[in-house]
Structure formats: structure tokens, C-alpha cells
Structure 1
Amino acid sequence: MQAWQIKQLNQPAEIATLPQPSPETGQVRVKVAAVGLNFADLLMGQGRYQERPAVPFVPGMEFAGTIDAIGADTAAMPHLQPGTRVAGFASHGALAEYLLAPASQLIGLPATMSLQQAAAFQIAYGTSHLALAHRARLQAGETLLVFGAAGGVGLTAVEIGKRMGARVIACARGAAKLKIARAAGADILIDSDTTDLKAALKAASQPWGGVDVVYDPVGGAAFTAAVSACRPEGRLLTIGFASGALPDIAANHLLVKNLSVIGLYWGGYLTFAPQVLTDSLRTLLQWFAEGGLRPHISHTLPFADYPKGLELLKTRQATGKVVITL
């Protein structure tokens, strides 16, 4: 089979010919149709992600396709038979024509969801739903501030925040990206390139006494500015550090305003609380089936253009998700 392979960190991936894998007990083999790219893919190729597979490895974390073969003990799962359309999450290995996945970690797809949409769905929507509903306990009527509001996870935070009844302040770079955030339901728009982000955030949230929940996949100066905009007992979610800079957290500010900083690593739940992920995805798929979620895919690229897809993420040219098709 054909697969992209990273043979050395900080070097471009190469297309390689690898043996087609055979499913073992509890596994299925998926014929991959689409792979959603994430900022984590870029970091993993640089050895900067929290998970560091040994080289050489096949990149790609989020996939959708059809079941091609099943291992022992899988025949008893009638919803996971050859030909079934499924989506899943892998620590790596998705950018290949075939991959093996634990049967227990695959999800069946609504008839109305395309394989491209499925490949763009799990991590972005799952991250935002777990962060807002499970970790920050966002309530209807609260004010939510979303950084990177036109990006892969930020845009879903806008959409989910509105569905949960929050007032959403979207912060993104430039009018074009802010227009996309507005279409997802944002109430107030702030250009992150403003000369005084701290003042802009405080002014936007002032009518409601400040921000209740901050959703931050950017890090750096954005996080620091958000602290000043929070109302007492505000919750700040750290989702990632797309800016490349870890924020400086002034503990005295947290103390005085009774603020909470909350971390969220979606993939971590696979190891210590997988049922939390399962329940979250069940809710999200129901919302999708009801027409309440609209995955935004800005670029759909062929398999050979995987490096171009990474470059779109690196240079922040993408909005929503970038999907690679096979």
C-alpha cells in the first residue's frame, strides 16, 4: 500500500510503499477515504507534540473510510462489518491506503454525513464539546470568548457555544476569517491584529461584566490579554499553542479574581476515560443528524498534496479543516 512516512524529524514526509496490514483480534482494517489534518500533525513531524512516535512513522490522526476486513472477536459486532462506513482517531498512521484500528474505537456514521465531513469532525468538534461542556461547564446566558475563531477547533467552539446558549465573542485575524466566524453564530467580532487586544476584549465584554469562559487554542499574548477581560470566577481553557508561545500565567491575577485555568487534551481521554469521549461524540453526531452542526472544510486536497495541506495550516491560510482524500 501507499503511505506517507516521516523518516526523520523536521524533514519532509515521503511517499513509501509499505505492506498491507492484517487485522488481529479486536481489530478491523479500514480502507481510508479521507484524513483530516490537525495542527498536531505539524507538531508531531517536528517532535514537538506530546506524543512522539519512533521514526519512521506514518502521520495522520483523524480518518474516515470503510471497513475492509475484520479480526477475530469482531464478527460479533454487527455494526462493524466489511463495507460499513466508519470514522476513527489514531495517534498516528492515518495517511495510508489502509490502517488497523481497535473495533471499540470506531464510530458508525449518519447516512447524511460524507466521509470528508467525518474526517473533519471528531477532533475539532470533540475538543470543543469536551472543553465547553465537560471541563468549563459553560452555561446558557454566559459570555464565551474564542481565540482562533476561524481555525479548525476555534470555529467549532463558536458553533457549539452558540448551540449551548452562550453569547460568543470571536477573535480571529482579518475580515475574511471574522466573516466565517459570524456565519457560525458569533455575536461580536474582534480582529486579533488590533493594536490593543487587551483593551478591545475588555470593551467588548464590559456590558456583561466580563468574560465567563475563554477558549484559547492560540496561547501567548492572547491568553494574557484574556485574563484582564474575565469576570470573577471566569474559566480559561488552554487548548493549544498555535502562536508557538506558551502564555505567562500571573498567579496573583488568578487569585484576586478567583479565576480557573483548565487544560484540555482530547486524545488523553482515550487512555483514562474513553466513555467520556464516546458520550460526547454520540451527542455531537445527534446534533449533526438534526442539522445543528455544519463542518467547515476550506480545502480538500488529493493524497499527493499532503505537504501542501500542512503548509496551509502552518501559514494559517486554512479556515475550519483541511482534508486529504484518497
Structure 2
Amino acid sequence: MKACLCKSFGPPESLVFEDIAEPVAGPGEVLVRVRACALNFFDTLIIRGKYQYKPDLPFSPSAEFAGVVDSVGDGVTSVSPGDRVMGYMRWGAAREKVVVGENALVGLPDDVSFETAAGLSVTYGTTLHAYRDRAGLKAGETVAVLGASGGVGQAAVEIAAIMGAKVIACASSEDKLAFARTLGAELTVDYSTQPLKDTLKDLTGGRGVDVVYDPVGGDLSEQALRATAWEGRFLVVGFAAGEIPKIPLNLLLLKGCDMRGVFWGAALDRDPDGHRANMVQVLSWIEDGRLKPHVHGIYPLEDIATALAEIAARRVRGKVILTP
């Protein structure tokens, strides 16, 4: 079978395509024929050896996929050959077939496309875990989403709106904010031209925001924390800006607020049933037409270098999908 391989750490152009032996499902495992897989920002880092996980070489990038069950190993009871499924595997999905544990898969309804499903696990899984499991988000609360036009930011705007929150989208340009408004943002902040803390305060009548969703980090984090309301919750999702901020802890005391880590990957291992329930909810919203995930582009697997370059250049709105 064909596979995209990282055989030495380097830029996207160093990735190669080779025929490799087809994997076999062992006990408790499932062999899936990949119909679509997705790329995320961390794929631009993992192929350079700059991500928190450093897989043994060679490996395939891409952590999330959708496809059809090809065969199952001994003891597998939840899926059968021919079933449509989606899943997450940290890395390794950029190939024609993958083997994963039975618990890594979620059943895929017939009316949700493979291309849509392939891009759901990381962004929407992270976001619903953040809001439901970590923040306890309630209808009527105000959410400020930093980096609101990226893949995770898009999901954060959409899901907060579906959950009944008032969304303030924060991004670095007016065209990004215009995109966020189409996703359900009621208010916007251009933090390239407006002071983030003061603007968030003004937009909430001086009260501050109930929840901050921060996948960006850097200088923006402290500004957003200073704009949280009493007993607000600041969700630490990631550091796309490249800098991990140092936060004055007296701010948490003075505001009676919380900073809560959102380590979705670890939560997935610790509570796979909770993740599956969250993804069933996401799929239900898609079936009902309440959630319409945006796909930036669909590329043949052989064009992965082009797709990764788009992500690295921050030109992506929504998800980047590959089709073997």
C-alpha cells in the first residue's frame, strides 16, 4: 500500500511516498481503509522534530482520519468490516490503511462525508472537551475566542454559539473576523489594532468575559486574563504564537478566576468513553444542520507538502484534508 513517510526530520518537501507492507489487525485492533485524513498545525512541527511527541523514524504524519473498516482482530465487537468510522491516532494516518485500537474509533453516520469527519476529532473534540468538561460553559455566558479564524478557533466559535453562549471572536485582521462572524460570532476584536483587554472590557460593559478560549498564548494571554469576569475560566488550549506566557498569579486571586488546562490528548487516553460521547454529540449537530464544519481545501495525498505549506503560512481557514 502507498504511504507518505517522514524518513528524516525536515521540511514538507523532504516527505516521501513509498509502497509499504499492509498492516494486519491484532487482538483488539481494527484495520481501516483510509478515505480521508486531516492535517493540523502540529503536523508542520512533528515532521521537523519540533513537536512534544517525536515518533520513531520512519512515520507518517496526520493524526485523524475517516474510512471504512477493512478487517478486525480477535476480540473486537463494536465494529465490523464495511462499517464507516472516524478516529484519532496522534500520527500515522497519511497512508492508505491504518491499524488502530478498537477504542480509538467512533461510528460515522451515512450522511456525514469522510472529508468532513476526518477533520473533526482534534478541533471539535478539543473544543467540546474544553467547554463541557473543563469550563462547564452555560448558555448565556460570554466567551472570548483568541485566534478565532484558525481550525481550533473556528470550532470554538461554532460550538460556543451552539451551546448558547455569546461569542466574541478575536483575531488579527478584519477579513479573519468577517469569517468568524459567519460562524456565529456576535462581536469581534482585531487585536492587531485594538487593545485586547480594554476592548473586551468595553464590549462586556466593564464586567469581563466568563470564559477565555486561548489556543494562541504569547502576549495575548495576560491581556485576555485581565479581561475575565469574577469567577471566570481561562482555558489554556495551546501556544500557536510560539511563546508560553508567564502569568502573574495575583490576577487569579484578585478576580477569583481559574486557569484550566485543556490537554485533550491525555483526556482521550484517560476517558475514551467521554471522548466518544463528545464526538457523538458533534456528529449529531452536523446531522441536524446546526454545525457545518468548514473545509479549507481537499488535496490528494501526494500534495501533502503544498497543504502543509498553506498551514505553516497561516493561510488556512478551517481544516485541510488529504485523500489517499
TM bin (shorter chain): over 0.9
How far off its partner does 1:109 sit? 0.9
Q: Is 1:9 matched with 2:25?
A: no
Amino acid at match of 1:14: V
Q: CA deviation at 1:148?
A: 1.1
**Structure 2 regions of 5+ residues with no counterpart?**
none
Match among 290, 311, 314 for residue 313 of structure 1: 311
Determine if the alignment matches structure 1 residue 62 to structure 2 residue 67: no
Once the two structures are TM-superposed, the CA of residue 304 in structure 1 deviates from its matched residue by: 1.0
What is the alpha-carbon distance in structure 2 between the residues aligned to residue 49 and residue 237 of structure 1?
21
CA contact (8 A) 1:202 1:228 kept: no
Please give the residue correspondences for 1:105-144 in structure 2 after superposition, counting only pairs within 5 Å.
105-144=104-143
In 2, Cα distance between equivalents of 1:39 and 1:241: 11
Q: In structure 1, what is the Cα distance between the partners aligned to 2:281 and 2:195?
A: 38
In 2, Cα distance between equivalents of 1:318 and 1:217? 15
Q: Is the partner of 1:300 in helix, strand or coil?
A: strand
Q: Secondary structure at the match of 1:236?
A: strand
Q: What is the TM-score normalised by the length of structure 2?
A: 0.95
Shift in Å at residue 219 of structure 1? 0.6
* Residue aligning to 2:220: 222
Of residues 184-193 and 40-49 in structure 1, the stretch that sits farther from structure 2 once superposed is: 40-49
Give aligned pairs, total: 322
Question: Aligned partners of 1:284 and 1:175: how far apart in 2?
Answer: 28
Letter paired with 1:27: E
Distance 2:140 2:103 in 1: 37
Listed as ranges, the gaps of 5+ residues in structure 1 are: none
CA distance in 1, matches of 2:57, 2:194: 43
Match of 1:39 among 41, 56, 63: 41
Q: How does 1:156-235 map to 2 (within 5 A)?
A: 156-205=155-204, 207=205, 209-235=207-233
Amino acid at match of 2:35: A
Which residue identity is paired with 1:269?
A
The aligned counterpart of 1:280 is 278
- What residue is the counterpart of 2:74 in the other structure? 72
Alpha carbons 2:30, 2:101 under 8 Å: kept: yes
Distance in 2, Cα, partners of 1:139 & 1:270 = 23
- Encode CA deviations 1:217-240: one digit per residue, 9 max, x unaligned: 111011111012111211111111
Which secondary structure does the structure 1 equivalent of 2:57 belong to? coil
Q: Partners in 2 of 1:261 and 1:13 — Cα distance?
A: 39
- 1:208 Cα deviation (Å)? 6.1
Deviates more, 1:220-229 or 1:38-47: 38-47
Q: CA deviation at 1:16?
A: 2.4
- Distance in 2 between the 1:198 and 1:179 partners? 21
From the superposition, tell whether residues 41 and 144 of structure 1 become closer, same or farther in structure 2 (CA, over 3 Å).
same
Residue 9 of structure 2 aligns to which amino acid in structure 1?
L
The aligned counterpart of 1:82 is 81
Letter in structure 2 aligned against 1:291: G
Q: Distance in 1 between matches of 2:46 and 2:301?
A: 19
